Structures are given as structure tokens and as C-alpha cells.
């Protein structure tokens, strides 16, 4: 695992990292071109000083250079250009007329800029030369013009002298952003150097005019740093060396009596230790470069997919071999590149002690901060996205959670409160917890606040569990702070925390125990760059829906459709297992020109994607449901950002683009989660509840000999289609590798033949239907088993009231489901029949895998 150490790539003075290089090169190329034109224009202007167009052009060029180099951090170049720009402003406005003197000054400014550009090209910085003379001249000329602007007439000699003295600082002009940019840039760099521990101390020793500057990476630098010798002495030694002295610097210094041997030895040791510090093989790489790499890998993956498709068509063993290898390499590469973007969460936690301390001091509290799992890694973009929410939570804990020291002592606690930050991986997600051992949440106060704020009713509140009640604090417009402190309670509440966490596909939850403390747990995905998504089609356009928002897929047949889709207060709802699910027609919502009967497929059925938007669920009606796949998320440009319905776009396997739906955005746009709708639905549901029948959901499938069979959906984990090649034989048992485990498989047809059948057990692979097996992944008593069936028919809801005793083994009973007699499969019986009594055997398989 590559880790990012701040070992600077050599202690160079370059202000840019590698990724900046490209833009700097472009800046250089463009600026050189501009300067050549400036020469011509200035000379032309000297002949015709009133040429407004040329003046405007010159002004714009200098302005652009100034602005750009400000962003690139070339402060000196910016300063020179800035003063020149001031002067040009006067010229352009006609306050000053271009004369030979001014032209000369401007031309020498062009030369200076050119010189600095050359310096940038050579060394990466705009050089050491100060151009004081030039700046003075330019400022003086500017002042004379500016004075002319005022009523006083010509500038007095003293004034212009003063002006010259103050020339290093450009005249007071509204400070342009680039200037800010420059200073921020410098600060950032300094901070990096200080905290980075990189040996970048050259500047400290810049002797006046000293030809040799001791560099930190060398012995001389260390000696100067430690105050053993002065820089000029080292310069002397270096000169001696240059003149042919073959001895080492240290030896020369000792010989000249500037330093003692022990001091030299100590310095050598420091130097060696430093070399080791730098030794971990890391380099600093620009984020842009990584982003580009990521894009390219994404491209490669697409190309690979195309290649795989292609090679399948041509049944050529050689080609298939190569494309398989390519497949593996591309996958591996993708993983590795993803890893480069991973950063330990400790990077953001490192700022917490300071933040927490400040808050604690301002509230008069004592807080100790503890961290667990600092090294837990997350994608860079996620790290950035959760920084603010986490900071907010930590401040909240100190401000509201932890009590004052006296109160703590009274409560029998330690004076110092504890704030614990924990991070750990679990199930492909990262869990982050912020806990305190403070007073805990006050249920009564939350209840009051929630009722006051109209967030809930007295009646609802009385039915709420503690957890539900505590989670009310995440609702917008909620703040229990009794007084508005400058720490929290500034309108930026927990709802913002939750929104931010949800934006990156995470969830938030709060637990609390009165008197013992509060824990906020956040679960977030490992990465945002590549997400699993469901691809759907609507009006012939494809759209991707992030899997995190997906609850289930429902297909309602035409017959059922009419029965199940109703209108409540003019809005369509679907009756799903006794609940009313508000519906959104994607085609209508996006104003797509499609079929009139939107959402109905060929058979008149309706495809409903059940989605979770915050606390609420709704059904999205689409034309077709395609498949799930991993997609690379790309942001949309500014022009399209304001469309809240889309979270981004992604390039699909065929090179075309699909838009990614923002489920929250869709819900908000359609008004499906508005309060009014909620209330209407609640009323309707109450009405419905009275006549509700105890129904169950069944999965209907075709068993052996096309028998119509069913399983209660609750016992099912997933439906899978396993390719025949994935099914293997282990002893007498069929198994498949499934999600990193071994899944025992039972062929329903053979299980029903009661083992006395003389028919040869087939080998996996001689699958009857060639393509693969339909597998129902079930769970029973904590173990998993896959049941191979012929075909999956449907998912239906039925009370299954009419029952009839079973007529053959492994069938529990027969019942009328959806109007036809259906056999209900008995999973425990199947397991027993297959010689798997309960879970031991399966567990064993899981452990050994």
C-alpha cells in the first residue's frame, strides 16, 4: 500500500507540483507569444500614442499575464505586471499620454517579464532578481499621471521621492484576487514545509551575495542549521573545494578551525537520519494526475469490455486468452489506481485536537480526545466531503454533550470528558463514530422541541422509540441548544450533517444513554468514483440509479396494474404489501417524449423501481429495467449542475453516456415526499388498514416437470443466475463460489426424487438449459443454501388461505396462490434430504474458505 508521506521531491523551490507543470508550460507558451506582440504594439504606439485599440490590447495582455501568474504563484512577476497595469490604466483612460520615457519603461517591463518567464522555465520560480529599479520607474510614472488626475497639478519633487521609496508596494488599487491567491499560496507552502519535515531550509541561510548557499541536504546546511558555523564559512570551504581541495567539507572546516570534529560527526549523523526519513519510497503526486489516471483506467475498462465482447464472437482461443489476461490486468490496475486515491482518515482527524481544545476552552470544559482506527482509509473525495460534518459533530459533542467539570464531578464522573473518534471497515463500508461520555440526549427536551417545531405530533411522539426520538435531531430546523453559542446552534445543524453524509451515499444514526453519553455513527461507502448502479431505460434513454438508494424492483402485470395503482389526492400510488407507495413516472418527470402509456411495457405491465429518498420510499416507474453494473461517476458541468435531478453522468460499456439520477432530487422535484402527500397517504393507509388482509409475498417458480411452486419471500436472500461454469462438484455436493464463500447447491429436481432414484446424478455443467442455473439463495438457521430451479415466474402477494396437504416429499403444503394451486417448498426438509442437518457443515465450509 502506497502511503502519502510529505517527503518533498527534493527540497526544490518550485512552487508547483508535478501536475502544475502542464499549466505552467502553457502559461509560458502563451505569454511568450503575447510578449512578442507587446513589443510590436508598444513600438507602434510610440508613433501613434492615441491608438485606443492598441492600448486596449496591451492593457488586456498585461492584465491576463498578471491574473494568471497570480494563480500560479509567481508573486514577483505578478507584482511587476501589476504596476505596469496601473500605468497602462492611466494611458488607456487618457490621463497620461504615451511618450518615449513611458514606452521605454513599458518595454523594459516586457523584457523583465520575459526574463522572469525564462527563469520560470529553467528553475520553476520567477527568480531572485527584484527589478527594484524598474518598479520604481513604473511607479514614478504612474504617480505623475495619477497626480495629474487630481486637481493639484504636477507632482512635487518630495512627493514623487516618497512615492519612489514606497515603490515596492504597488499603489493602492483594489486588491485583485490573484494577489490574495499569491499570499495564500505562499502560506500554504510554508505550512507544508513546516509540517512536512522535509528538509527545505535553504532560504534561512541565504547569505548576501554568497555564491554558495549551503543546502539542507548537505553537511553544510546541517551545520548552519545547528548554529555550528556560519554560512560564509561554509562558502569559503566550498570555494576551497572548487579550487581543487580534495578533502571533504567537514575536513576543510576542521582544518580551518571553523568547527570541531565531534560537531562534524554529529552533523553527519543528523544527515544520515534524515536520509532515512526520506527513504520510504514515496513521492508527492498531484491530485490532477491521479484523476487523469483514473479517467484513463476507466477508459481502459471500457475498451476491455468491448474487447471481451468482440473476442466472444470470434471463438479464437488465442484471442480469448489474451483478452482474458487483459481483463485481469485491467481489473488489477483499476484496483491499484483506486488505492492511490485512498487516504487515512487520520489526515482530517489530526486537526481535531486543536478544534476541540478551542471549543472546550470557550465553553469552560475539559476534554480529552481519543482516536481509534486513524489508519482507516477512504477515497480522497469522501474524506473531503465528511470533513465538515465530522468537525461539526465533534464540536457539538463538546458544546452540548460533555458537561462542565463541576457537573461531571457531581455526577460521579471524571472531571475531564472523553471524546472518542473511531473508524473501522465493515461490510464494504466505513463506519465512523463520534462518541462522548457526556450527559446524553434528553428525550423530553427533544420531544418538546420537535412538537414545538411541528416536526411531530404529541400522539406520534408518544409512540416513538428512544432511537426514533433521538434521530429527530437530524431533521431540518431542529436545535436543542438552550442558547445560541458561537460554537454551534448557528442554523447549521445536524440536518446539514445528515444531508452532507447522504450526499455521498452514507447514513447517519445516533444512539444515546441518559447520563452516559451520545454516539453518532456514520456509515459511508469506501469510494464515490465507482459505484454500483441499476441501469434503466425510459423513452429509449438510459439512466443509472445508484444502488444505495434502491430498495426493490417490482413488476406489476397489466391485470394487477389496474388493481394496484390508484389515485390518492390526484397522485398515483401503488399498493405494495399493504403499504401505499407513491409513484413517480420518470418519463413524465423528465418530460421525455415517449409512449403515451408511460411505463407500460409490451405486455402492459409496469416496472417499478422502489427507491429510498431519506426517510421516505417511493416508486419510480420506468420503461425497462436493464441490469446492475459498476459505473464511473463523472460530474456535470456548471451549465447542468442546477438540474437537481441528476447526480452526474457515466460512460457506459458501448461508449454512450447515461445520466445518473439523483434520487433525492427526483423525489423533491416530483413533490413525492412533501408533507401534504405524506398526510394524505397516512389517511389512506389508516382507512386501508381496517380492511387489510393478512397477505404474504411469495416467489413463484417452476420446479421439476414445470410444477408450479412457491417460497415465502422472507426466506430468500437473492435470486441469482449462475453460469454453468461457476457450478462445481465437491464430493457428492454441488457448490458454487458465491460472494467469497462456498454456497452449497441443491438441485430441486433431484432432491424430490428421494434418493432412491436410479438415475445417474448429472455433473455440474451438463446443465439442461446450457446457459446456466436459476438459483434461489435461501437462508435457514443461519446458513445459506442455493436451490436450483427451472425458472423463476413471479413475485406475488396472496393470503394463501386455501391449503391442501402435501402430496410429495419436500413440499410443505399446497395452496391457492394467484388463483392457481401451488406447492410450497419445505426448506428444512430439503436440507435434511441432502444430508445437511442444519448449519455445522456449511459453517465449516465458510470457515475453510
Partner 1 sequence: MAQTSQYCTFYLDKLLFGIELRGVQEVLRFVEMTPVPLAAGEVSGLINLRGQIVTAIDLRRRLELEERPKEMLPENVVVRRRPLWMRARRHWEKSQNRSIR
The site for partner 1 (CB under 8 A) is made up of 4, 6, 17, 20, 23, 26-27, 30, 37, 40-41, 44, 51, 53-54, 57, 64, 67-68, 71-73, 177, 181, 184-185, 188, 192, 196, 284-288, 290, 295-296, 298-299, 302, 343, 347, 380, 384, 541, 590-592, 634, 636-637, 639-640, 643, 645-646, 649, 651, 655-659
CB of 42 to partner 1, least distance (A): 11
The answer for residues whose C-beta is within 8 angstroms of residue 827's C-beta and 6 or more apart is: 711, 715, 778, 780, 785, 787
CB of 610 to partner 1, least distance (A): 22
For 605, counting Cβ atoms within 10 Å of its Cβ (0-12 exposed, 13-18 middle, 19+ buried), the class is middle
CB of 84 to partner 1, least distance (A): 16
CB of 552 to partner 1, least distance (A): 25
- Closer Cβ to partner 1, 643 or 682, answer by number: 643
Query: Are 664 and 502 within 8 A, CB to CB?
Result: yes
- Closer Cβ to partner 1, 116 or 163, answer by number: 116
* C-alpha cell recorded at residue 330: 485491467
- Closer Cβ to partner 1, 192 or 218, answer by number: 192
Q: Are strands 708-712 and 696-702 parallel, antiparallel or unpaired?
A: antiparallel
- Closer Cβ to partner 1, 372 or 654, answer by number: 654
Q: Give me the residues paired with residue 738 across strands.
A: 741
- Closer Cβ to partner 1, 1 or 458, answer by number: 1
Length of the chain, in residues: 849
CB of 327 to partner 1, least distance (A): 19
CA dist 196 and 90 (Å) reads 45
Q: How far is CA 26 from the centre of its chain?
A: 29
Among candidate residues 350, 354, 514, 479, the one with its CA nearest the CA of residue 421: 350
Question: Is 98 strand, coil or helix?
Answer: coil
Please identify which residue in the block is written with the cell numbers 431533521. Answer: 475
CB of 174 to partner 1, least distance (A): 17
CB of 665 to partner 1, least distance (A): 10
- Closer Cβ to partner 1, 40 or 763, answer by number: 40
CB of 30 to partner 1, least distance (A): 6
Q: How many CB atoms lie within 10 A of CB 799?
A: 12
Distance spanning both ends of the chain, measured CA to CA: 25
CB of 399 to partner 1, least distance (A): 25
- Closer Cβ to partner 1, 298 or 619, answer by number: 298
Question: Is 129 strand, coil or helix?
Answer: coil
CB of 608 to partner 1, least distance (A): 20
Where are the extended beta strands (E) located within 226-322?
Answer: none
* C-alpha cell recorded at residue 289: 494526475
Among candidate residues 348, 483, 507, the one with its CA nearest the CA of residue 427: 507
CA dist 444 and 458 (Å) reads 12
User: What Rg value do the Cα atoms of the chain yield, rounded?
Assistant: 37
CB of 499 to partner 1, least distance (A): 19
Among candidate residues 537, 666, 535, the one with its CA nearest the CA of residue 589: 666
Angle between helices 177-196 and 52-72 (to 10 degrees): 20
- Closer Cβ to partner 1, 161 or 184, answer by number: 184
Query: Are 680 and 573 within 8 A, CB to CB?
Result: no
- Closer Cβ to partner 1, 40 or 162, answer by number: 40
CB of 379 to partner 1, least distance (A): 12
Helix (H) / strand (E) containing 294: helix 287-313
- Closer Cβ to partner 1, 31 or 617, answer by number: 31
The answer for residues whose C-beta is within 8 angstroms of residue 342's C-beta and 6 or more apart is: 377, 378, 379, 380
- Closer Cβ to partner 1, 217 or 298, answer by number: 298
CA dist 248 and 464 (Å) reads 80
CA dist 212 and 232 (Å) reads 8
The answer for residues whose C-beta is within 8 angstroms of residue 181's C-beta and 6 or more apart is: 70, 71, 73
- Closer Cβ to partner 1, 520 or 586, answer by number: 586
Sheet of 733-738: strands edge to edge?
716-723, 772-780, 783-789, 741-747, 733-738, 727-730
Among candidate residues 215, 260, 276, 242, the one with its CA nearest the CA of residue 250: 260
* C-alpha cell recorded at residue 644: 437537481
- Closer Cβ to partner 1, 543 or 574, answer by number: 543
Among candidate residues 321, 338, 437, 434, the one with its CA nearest the CA of residue 381: 338
- Closer Cβ to partner 1, 624 or 728, answer by number: 624
CB of 690 to partner 1, least distance (A): 41
Sign of the Cα torsion 153, 155, 159, 165 reads positive
CB of 578 to partner 1, least distance (A): 34
Query: Are 455 and 477 within 8 A, CB to CB?
Result: yes
Q: Give me the residues paired with residue 617 across strands.
A: 612
Using alpha carbons only, give the angle 526, 530, 531 rounded to the nearest 5 degrees: 80
CB of 281 to partner 1, least distance (A): 16
CB of 291 to partner 1, least distance (A): 9
- Closer Cβ to partner 1, 72 or 528, answer by number: 72
- Closer Cβ to partner 1, 618 or 646, answer by number: 646
The answer for residues whose C-beta is within 8 angstroms of residue 94's C-beta and 6 or more apart is: none
Query: Are 6 and 196 within 8 A, CB to CB?
Result: yes
- Closer Cβ to partner 1, 326 or 568, answer by number: 326
* C-alpha cell recorded at residue 687: 382507512
CB of 200 to partner 1, least distance (A): 15
Q: How many CB atoms lie within 10 A of CB 400?
A: 24
Amino acid at each position: 500500500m502506497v502511503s502519502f508521506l510529505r517527503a518533498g521531491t527534493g527540497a526544490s523551490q518550485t512552487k508547483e507540483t508535478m501536475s502544475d507543470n502542464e499549466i505552467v508550460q502553457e502559461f509560458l507558451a502563451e505569454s511568450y507569444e503575447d510578449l512578442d506582440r507587446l513589443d510590436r504594439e508598444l513600438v507602434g504606439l510610440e508613433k501613434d500614442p492615441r491608438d485606443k485599440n492598441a492600448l486596449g490590447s496591451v492593457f488586456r495582455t498585461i492584465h491576463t499575464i498578471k491574473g494568471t501568474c497570480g494563480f500560479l504563484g509567481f508573486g514577483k512577476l505578478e507584482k511587476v505586471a501589476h504596476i505596469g497595469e496601473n500605468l497602462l490604466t492611466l494611458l488607456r483612460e487618457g490621463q497620461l499620454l504615451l511618450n518615449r520615457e513611458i514606452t521605454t519603461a513599458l518595454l523594459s517591463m516586457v523584457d523583465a517579464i520575459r526574463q522572469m518567464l525564462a527563469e520560470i522555465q529553467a528553475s520553476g520560480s520567477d527568480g531572485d532578481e527584484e527589478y527594484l529599479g524598474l518598479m520604481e520607474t513604473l511607479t514614478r510614472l504612474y504617480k505623475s499621471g495619477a497626480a495629474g488626475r487630481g486637481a493639484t497639478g504636477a507632482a512635487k519633487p518630495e512627493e514623487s521621492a516618497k512615492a519612489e521609496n514606497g515603490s515596492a508596494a504597488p499603489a493602492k488599487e483594489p486588491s485583485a484576487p490573484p494577489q490574495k491567491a499569491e499570499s495564500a499560496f505562499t502560506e500554504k507552502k510554508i505550512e507544508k514545509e513546516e509540517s512536512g519535515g522535509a528538509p527545505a531550509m535553504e532560504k534561512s541561510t541565504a547569505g548576501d551575495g554568497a555564491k554558495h548557499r549551503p543546502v539542507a541536504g548537505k553537511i553544510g546546511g546541517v551545520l548552519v542549521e545547528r548554529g555550528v558555523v556560519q554560512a560564509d564559512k561554509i562558502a569559503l570551504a566550498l570555494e576551497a573545494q572548487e579550487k581543487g581541495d580534495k578533502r571533504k567539507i567537514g575536513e576543510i572546516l576542521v582544518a580551518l578551525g571553523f568547527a570541531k570534529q565531534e560537531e562534524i560527526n554529529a552533523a553527519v549523523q543528523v544527515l544520515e537520519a534524515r536520509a532515512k526519513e526520506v527513504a520510504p519510497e514515496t513521492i508527492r503526486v498531484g491530485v490532477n494526475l491521479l484523476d487523469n489516471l483514473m479517467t484513463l483506467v476507466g477508459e481502459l475498462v471500457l475498451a476491455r469490455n468491448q474487447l471481451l465482447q468482440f473476442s466472444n464472437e470470434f471463438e479464437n482461443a488465442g484471442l480469448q486468452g489474451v483478452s482474458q489476461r487483459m481483463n485481469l490486468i485491467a481489473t488489477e490496475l483499476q484496483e491499484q489506481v483506486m488505492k492511490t486515491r485512498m487516504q487515512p482518515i487520520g489526515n482530517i482527524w489530526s486537526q481535531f485536537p486543536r478544534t476541540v481544545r478551542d471549543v472546550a476552552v470557550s465553553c469552560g470544559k475539559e476534554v480529552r480526545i481519543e482516536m481509534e482506527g486513524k489508519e482507516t482509509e477512504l477515497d480522497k473525495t469522501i474524506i473531503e466531503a465528511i470533513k465538515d460534518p465530522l468537525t461539526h459533530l465533534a464540536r457539538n459533542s463538546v458544546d452540548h454533550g460533555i458537561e462542565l467539570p463541576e457537573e461531571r464531578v457531581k455526577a460521579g464522573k471524571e472531571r475531564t470528558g472523553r471524546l472518542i473518534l473511531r473508524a473501522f471497515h465493515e461490510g464494504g463500508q466505513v463506519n465512523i463514530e463520534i462518541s462522548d461520555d457526556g450527559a446524553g440526549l434528553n428525550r423530553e427536551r427533544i420531544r418538546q422541541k420537535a412538537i414545538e417545531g411541528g416536526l411531530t405530533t404529541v400522539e406520534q411522539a408518544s409512540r416513538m422509540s428512544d432511537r426514533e426520538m433521538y434521530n429527530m435531531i437530524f431533521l431540518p430546523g431542529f436545535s436543542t441548544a438552550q442558547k445560541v453559542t458561537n460554537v454551534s446552534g448557528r442554523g447549521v445543524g445536524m440536518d446539514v450533517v445528515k444531508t452532507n453524509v447522504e450526499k455521498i451515499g452514507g447514513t447517519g444514526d445516533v444512539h444515546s444513554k441518559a447520563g452516559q453519553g451520545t454516539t453518532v455513527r456514520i456509515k459511508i461507502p469506501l469510494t464515490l468514483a465507482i459505484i454500483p448502479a441499476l441501469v434503466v431505460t425510459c423513452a429509449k434513454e438510459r439512466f443509472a440509479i445508484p444502488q444505495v438508494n434502491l430498495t426493490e424492483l417490482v413488476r406489476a402485470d397489466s391485470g394487477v396494474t389496474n388493481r394496484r395503482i390508484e389515485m390518492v389526492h390526484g397522485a398515483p400510488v401503488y399498493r405494495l404489501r399493504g403499504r401505499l407507495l407513491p409513484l413517480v413516472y420518470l418519463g413524465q418527470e423528465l418530460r421525455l417524449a415517449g409512449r403515451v402509456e408511460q411505463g407500460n411495457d409490451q405486455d402492459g405491465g409496469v416496472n417499478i423501481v422502489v427507491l429510498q429518498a431519506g426517510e421516505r420510499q417511493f416508486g419510480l416507474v420506468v420503461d425497462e429495467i436493464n441490469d446492475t453494473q459498476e459505473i464511473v461517476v463523472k460530474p456535470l458541468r456548471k451549465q447542468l449542475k442546477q438540474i437537481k435531478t441528476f447526480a452526474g453522468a457515466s460512460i457506459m460499456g458501448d461508449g454512450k453516456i447515461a445520466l445518473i439520477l439523483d434520487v433525492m432530487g427526483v423525489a423533491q422535484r416530483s413533490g413525492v415526499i412533501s408533507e401534504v402527500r405524506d398526510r394524505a397517504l397516512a389517511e389512506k393507509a389508516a382507512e386501508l388498514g381496517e380492511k387489510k388482509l393478512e397477505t404474504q409475498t411469495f416467489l413463484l417458480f417452476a420446479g421439476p416437470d414445470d410444477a408450479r411452486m412457491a417460497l415465502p419471500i422472507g426466506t430468500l436472500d437473492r435470486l441469482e443466475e449462475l453460469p454453468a461454469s461457476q457450478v462445481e462438484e465437491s464430493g457428492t455436493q454441488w457448490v458454487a463460489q458465491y460472494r467469497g464463500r462456498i454456497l452449497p447447491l441443491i438441485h430441486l429436481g433431484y432432491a424430490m426424487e428421494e434418493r432412491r432414484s436410479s438415475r445417474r446424478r448429472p455433473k455440474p455443467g451438463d446443465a439442461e438449459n446450457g446457459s446456466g442455473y436459476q438459483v434461489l439463495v435461501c437462508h435457514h438457521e443461519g446458513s445459506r443454501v442455493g436451490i436450483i430451479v427451472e425458472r423463476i415466474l413471479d413475485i406475488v402477494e396472496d393470503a394463501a388461505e386455501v391449503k391442501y396437504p402435501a402430496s410429495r416429499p419436500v413440499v410443505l403444503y399446497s395452496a391457492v396462490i394467484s388463483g392457481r394451486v401451488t406447492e410450497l417448498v419445505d426448506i428444512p426438509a430439503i436440507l435434511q434430504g441432502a444430508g445437511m442437518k442444519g448449519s455445522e457443515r456449511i459453517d465449516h465450509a465458510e470457515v475453510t474458505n
